[in-house]
Amino acid sequence: MNNQTPTALFLSRLAPSGRRPLRSQLNTVLKLFKWKGEVEALPFHTLNYAQIEYVKRHKLDEGKSPRTVNLVLFALKAIVKTGFLMGVVDDVQWRQVQAVKRLPINPSSRGKALSSSSVGQLITICYLDKRYIGKRDCCILALFLSTGLRRFELANLTVSDIHLDKRTLTVKSGKGKKPRKQPIPTWALTYIDNWLRVRTHQPGDLFNPIWNNVIKHDRGLSSAALYQIVKARTLAATGITISPHDLRRTFITELLNQKVDLSTASKLAGHANVTTTQIYDKRDESVMREAIDQLNYQLNGQLDGGQHD
């Protein structure tokens, strides 16, 4: 007999990258209700509409962002739904909890996207570093910017995942545990090849620590290490702090700037739906102006619009 709680079952079905932030948020709810014990063992599935609204208001009073509040709401509603499917939550409670509304989010309220010139400057300056660490970091930046991979996806890449002859890489540990083939643009191949020439094709993690110009093939770089590398390289090249997720935003924004349709951009980003992709769009109002200026009904002078004010 399965004695898992709805919370434990819900968390167990998530990829590690998704489980960590949700578990962290559930810990804050645990403290709010003064519960004791491990997150997985606690009765989050018993929370009702009023209690979840209370959590929502409390988070807002703490000054938490709409994204953070929505993450908490998602976890709590999903756990109640899991309890309903397990037969330990009744229909009335489940329907009431699903009525708790998410907070609206301004798509432009968070994150940055680099301009094309800043990307060129970043890659060029890193390329000029001829040390092994320079070749590695240049490859890291090129892959982030050319594929839009998430940080944990890049950290989990192995040498065997790279197929330069086919211009693709295999993402085996994507969000939601869904593997996918990711195309690589031609311009990025040089930087990948430069790194593989010094790293060699020895099996193992694609990116490794380097100590005293010695590559440590027996271990890979962590997600935290990738964050620090991107932060340091972008600060040195552009004077501003950029995160790996900002490079992902840059990738998506540049696809849209180059008139790639939203559906294709969504697939390239590994998103399950286009709504998520839209949140990453960092184009400004000039794009809307350019679009509206292309609106032309081909009236061919049939109507005299007169002078505009």
Catalytic residues: 150, 175, 245, 248, 271, 280
How far apart CA 145 and CA 172 sit, in angstroms, is 19
How far apart CA 29 and CA 74 sit, in angstroms, is 13
Nearest CA-CA partner of 55 in 45, 43, 70: 70
